[in-house]
Amino acid sequence: MNISITRRFAVPALLALGLAACGSDTDSSSTAAEPVTTDMGDMNMDDMNMDDMNMDDMNMGDADATPADEVVGASLARGEFVLMDTRPAGYDDVAGTAVIARHTAGTTVTTELTGLEPNVKYISHVHAQACTDENAGNHYQFEIGGDTTPPNEIHLAFTSDNDGNGFMTAENAQIAGVDAVAFVVHPAEFMDNKIACVDFIEDEAGMRGHTADG
């Protein structure tokens, strides 16, 4: 849990640093200002690809990744959000979908929500029990009992827009097993307050746990 929290807050911190550095360096050749120095060791801010960092190291989502329902040759399962009794006040109008794609390159999960609070951080996970079974139970893990962070779990972190809409896609290099049955969204600051849950229903019955090729 501690690792999870640390990582969750490390991402925005790094992104903020990166954006600050990029913003102050739009035309470094002609500016007379002192160069901005950051104590980031060997990290070269100019060469850093924040999308790659997000996907490869943090693996908490990339809004520009191919959405799950557009992955070619994937086995798809999806569903609509149902409100959970544990939701905080103010979340009675949350709605949306989550889609999980199992394919030869692994797993892709995309979620799309409306009715969230504007400009709030959320965290969502693939869960291992159905929505009505102990509120979806624990997070789905590729290696049960292993790390509680990606890539051993599938997490999607996102911030809602000005209108309370959320959208995110996360990719994982492993193919999710049959226990990856549900998807839950939480406020990032109140993990216990599960807001809403999707039970994944397969587009083609019996394809769960199989790729299109086998």
Find residue 109's DSSP bridge partners: 100, 170
Task: Report in angstroms how near the CB of residue 134 gets to Cu ion at its nearest.
Answer: 12
Closer to Cu ion by Cβ: residue 77 or 188: 188
Q: Cβ of residue 115: shortest distance to Cu ion, in angstroms?
A: 18
Q: Which is nearer to Cu ion, 128 or 184 (CB)?
A: 184
Q: Which two tokens stand for residue 70?
A: 């557009």
Provide the binding-site residues for Cu ion, judged by CB under 5 A: 125, 184
Alpha helices in 35-120 (DSSP H): 50-52
SS3 state of residue 69 = helix
**Cβ distance to Cu ion smaller for residue 74 or 154:** 154
Least separation, in Å, of the C-beta of 41 and Cu ion?
A: 33
The tokens of 25 are what?
A: 């360096």
Rounded to the nearest whole angstrom, what is the least distance from the CB of residue 190 to Cu ion in the complex? 12
Do residues 196 and 92 lie in contact, with contact meaning Cβ atoms separated by under 8 Å? no
Name the residue type at position 110: T
Separation of alpha carbons 128 and 177, rounded Å: 10
Q: Which residue is nearest to Cu ion (CB)?
A: 125
Instruction: Compare residues 74 and 157 and give the one whose CB is closer to Cu ion.
Output: 157
Helices (H), the chain: 2-23, 50-52
